[in-house]
Structure formats: C-alpha cells, structure tokens
Amino acid sequence: MADVGAEGGRSPLRVAVLASGEGTNLQALLDGVHGAEAEVVAVGADNPQAPALERARRAGIGTAVFPKDAYPDRTARDAAISAWLQEQRVQLVVLAGYMALLSADFTRTWSGRLINVHPSLLPAFPGIRAIQQALDYGVRVFGVTVHLVDAGVDTGQILAQCAVDLPSARHESEVHAVLQPLEHALLCDTVRRYARGQVRSDPEHPRRMLVD
C-alpha cells in the first residue's frame, strides 16, 4: 500500500510494470493513474524490442531489459528482476502483457504485491489464448479479471472482474477489441484502490479479496 505522509496524506504508490510487447496496459496506467494516487517508477521487459519500453522512455520512466539468454535459468533472471525492483523501492508490480513465466521464488517474494490482468472470467480459461479458448468452448459471455499472482497459472486471488455479453462473437480479434478497454479501466481502478488501501483479505474466506 502507499505510505502515509507526515501530514496524514498518502504518498503515491510506487508501481513497476513488467511487459513483453506493445504496452497498452502500461499506457492506460500512465494516462489513468500515473502522477495521482500511483506513480509508475520503473518498466522492465524481457524483450529489448518491446514498444512498452519506448512508451516508458517517452514518459521519463526508467527502464531495464532482462533477456532470457543473458541468464543461466529463470530463477537467476527473476532474482535479477526482483533485486532491480527492490532498488527502485517498488510497492506494487503490475504484469502488463508480460509473457515470461515467473519462478516460485519471485511470486513468493512479491506475494500480495504482484497483479496481472487476464482476458477471461477466471477461473475459466486460464493460460495463453484465453479468448480463443472461450470461443472454442462456445461461451456467450466474455470478460476480464485482475488478480493477484501466485505460483500457479492464473490461480491467484481475484481482485476485480468485468463481464460483457457477446453472443454473436466468432473471432478472437473482435472479442479482444471489446475487452481491451475494459482491461484498461479495470486495471487502473484496481491500482487506484490498492493505492488507497482499499484491497484486503476477507477473514471469512481464504480465497476472497475484498476491494472497497
């Protein structure tokens, strides 16, 4: 959560974003929460060519690249990422289209401070190609989930969800076009609530998170 300042107000939540590609969720955070309740202080990528890095640079945000072939294994790379995040005094890590799997050590270190946005109504259709999975199954309702990240594949506690009825959808691209703005809005809203201290565990249900 954000620190409480000397006069009782909260200082901005220090957020880092990990991305692999275009960085549209990063841009949503830059446009929607950066400089208000939260401040994006670092952007990391596994892909040196990720457009997300250029988005960060244009915003004056420090970046770092952690290519797979620069480390002996995933654990070593994740340890380097974790050390870098700690150097930046990061309080919340957002996975914004970050396509690399994370080690159990990393998710344990950042437990409760690591969130992801996923294009399905979890626990349905976890993992890659979630929209295509849903289309193949024949669902009529699609959605987006923001969740805490644990050592499983999209198995962390759910923070927020949004559903949309698309009974005539046939193609992944058309569903993605509808879901993407919902992803952006839900992610920004969740980060704002996290910064305000409105995210907490439900004492009556170990899997449920309460978002005030």
Known catalytic residue: 118? yes
Identify which of 119, 125, 123, 145 has the alpha carbon closest to the alpha carbon of residue 137. 125
Q: Which residues on adjacent β-strands are paired with residue 145?
A: 118, 161
Enumerate the H helices of the chain as residue ranges. Answer: 24-32, 51-58, 74-87, 104-109, 130-137, 172-195
Q: Are the beta carbons of 81 and 51 closer than 8 angstroms?
A: no
* Cα dihedral value 174, 26, 51, 82, nearest 10: -130
From 118, 171, 176, 205, active-site residue: 118
Residues 6+ apart with CB under 8 A from 137: 125
Q: Are the beta carbons of 180 and 162 closer than 8 angstroms?
A: no
Number of residues assigned to the chain:
212
Could you tell me the two tokens for 90?
């990061």
| Positions marked catalytic | 118
